[in-house]
Chain A
């Protein structure tokens, strides 16, 4: 049993004009096996929440706490958070020139588990995960994210999710820029990781489209750095029909 708790989280971001408050008291509790969709208009703080959980240095937590099974996540470095079981599928994964996908995956797995995976078992596992995501085997020879199409980048993020086996995954607009076939493939990858590892998922999205393929247990609507409303999957359907207008106007 694992639990990720976000309590009264206030976060500001450094800008050229000084710090700017983005999150204004966010409360969320996610248990393993649960899928929470975070929805909201642009600029509502969805991605800030994702980066704050992962520990991006640009975001400063000014108040509140994040606990993973009672441990204070905010005291951990970025890599410690990942080793503790948190994963962020990035919206804009960066290129790492000269570092092959296979080298990167092996280095990450070794860092997470604390020991190098056995070569045979690892190669097989990587190949199976790639097959499931309909990725060509030549992909591992390419440099990390270099020249990847939008769809390839997202598949690569979900490949990491399935191989690194975190306790909780934050998916930051993983659906953006995907055509419907790629969206299905990526969603199936997330669902498999959920089943295999009883993963807790925080699914950040602007649109309801991905929720047809990844069923949320809870839906939270973010407006102006706070949760404005929450409910079950039916809330997503209402957003689909009505949009965010009524929150923004309010």
Chain B
């Protein structure tokens, strides 16, 4: 592959910022549940700089509470409830860091709470979020994985939506959680989602974002540690078609000693004006000695006219760490790979599929949930079949 690779170890890397966009370190950003604490959404704000406001449509105005369908499949001892702001879990995992997230927060008087009991046997939970219309709306979900619990949660977004969402994810001490968020909306949908992940002592999370369908999809997962020994593995895979905008901004806030994080996102792009943005922020605070972190983003551009922005940021306030690094690369589809495979009798379509699967495989093979892997494989196949190449 023809790649431009940037890597850095143990250091703050500098990245060029466009004129007029203030450089802001992540730890200094406003956090508030009050929408009025945030500036209006403009591309002059660092966090919106790639996203033209007309792509956000109705999410910039007033929102209504989500009226679509939440279809839950779960074992009996997993409980769900709508809880109000007075519930101790409402706002426990984090607070909004951008205006749309705050607007959604303000709109929702109730949150849908999924409680996973302390049961070391693996629990499998699936939540289908189906939106039937494009009324600008807001949804607040809370996951409470109790200490010593072990669960897999798949949240599957589909339908027509203009939806701002907040998902709070609490992972108790010693608990293990695999959580998948699939964004597979109709092609006119607009979706922003903030995930607030709060990890207990020795907690382990595998957080997987799969973004496929939607005109505009923006997912901002942030991880906060509350005790030592926790491990966050953030994975993302996305496929942007002509005219699609997919943005992912993972943030890891290392505030506790001896914790680990890995962020690995891979995306494929094809078609005119397919645009993806990945901004990965990692902050290692003074107290976070013994931190071990690495973040990586790779993009594969299948056709001309697609654009991938990829920016890793690392802020380090202590030198007493195990390791910290990042890598980012975007490469064009390599015709020599195609030639090699075709020279072995493999048709052009099949060869393309092999190369794209191969590229995304590093993520796919880590998902470990067959239904999600199959779904992803089918989606990629459908996307490639749409290719005009």
A and B pair up: yes
The interface of chain A, by Cβ under 8 A from chain B, is 54-57, 77-79, 81-83, 87-88, 90, 93-99, 103-104, 107-108, 111-112, 143, 160, 164
Contact in complex: B1, A97 (CB < 8 Å)? yes
Residues in B with CB closer than 8 Å to A95 are: 1, 337
Q: How far is the CB of B238 from chain A (nearest CB, A)?
A: 16
Q: How far is the CB of A232 from chain B (nearest CB, A)?
A: 31
Residues in A with CB closer than 8 Å to B360 are: 98
Partner of B348, one of A54, A79, A93, A94: A79
Contact in complex: B350, A98 (CB < 8 Å)? no
Residue of A nearest to B340 (CB): A94
Some 28 contacts from A to B, beta carbons below 8 A apart, are: A54-B339, A55-B343, A57-B335, A77-B342, A78-B342, A79-B342, A79-B346, A82-B345, A87-B343, A90-B340, A93-B340, A94-B337, A94-B340, A95-B1, A96-B337, A96-B340, A97-B358, A98-B358, A98-B360, A99-B355, A99-B357, A103-B354, A104-B341, A104-B344, A107-B350, A108-B345, A111-B345, A164-B345
A94 CA / B341 CA spacing, docked (Å): 10
Q: How far is the CB of B362 from chain A (nearest CB, A)?
A: 6
Contact in complex: B335, A98 (CB < 8 Å)? no
Q: Does B361 contact A (CB under 8 A)?
A: yes
Residues in B with CB closer than 8 Å to A104 are: 341, 344, 354
Q: How far is the CB of B25 from chain A (nearest CB, A)?
A: 34
User: How many residues from B make CB contacts under 8 Å with A?
Assistant: 25
Given A57-B335, A78-B339: A99 and B344 interface contact (C-beta under 8 Å): no
Q: How far is the CB of A108 from chain B (nearest CB, A)?
A: 4
Residues in A with CB closer than 8 Å to B344 are: 79, 82, 104, 108, 111-112, 160, 164
Contact in complex: A82, B343 (CB < 8 Å)? yes
Residues in A with CB closer than 8 Å to B341 are: 96, 104, 108
Q: How far is the CB of A172 from chain B (nearest CB, A)?
A: 11
Contact in complex: A98, B359 (CB < 8 Å)? yes
Given A111-B344, A111-B345: A57 and B337 interface contact (C-beta under 8 Å): no
A56 CA / B350 CA spacing, docked (Å): 18
Top-9 shortest CB links A-B: A98-B358, A98-B361, A78-B342, A82-B345, A99-B358, A108-B344, A111-B345, A112-B345, A79-B342
Q: Does B347 contact A (CB under 8 A)?
A: yes
Residues in B with CB closer than 8 Å to A111 are: 344-347, 350
Write out, one digit per residue, whether chain B residues 347-378 have a CB within 8 A of any chain A CB (1) or not (0). Answer: 11011001101111110000000000000000
Q: How far is the CB of A219 from chain B (nearest CB, A)?
A: 26
Q: Does B336 contact A (CB under 8 A)?
A: yes
Q: How far is the CB of A113 from chain B (nearest CB, A)?
A: 9
Residues in A with CB closer than 8 Å to B362 are: 97-98
Given A97-B358, A98-B360: A108 and B346 interface contact (C-beta under 8 Å): yes
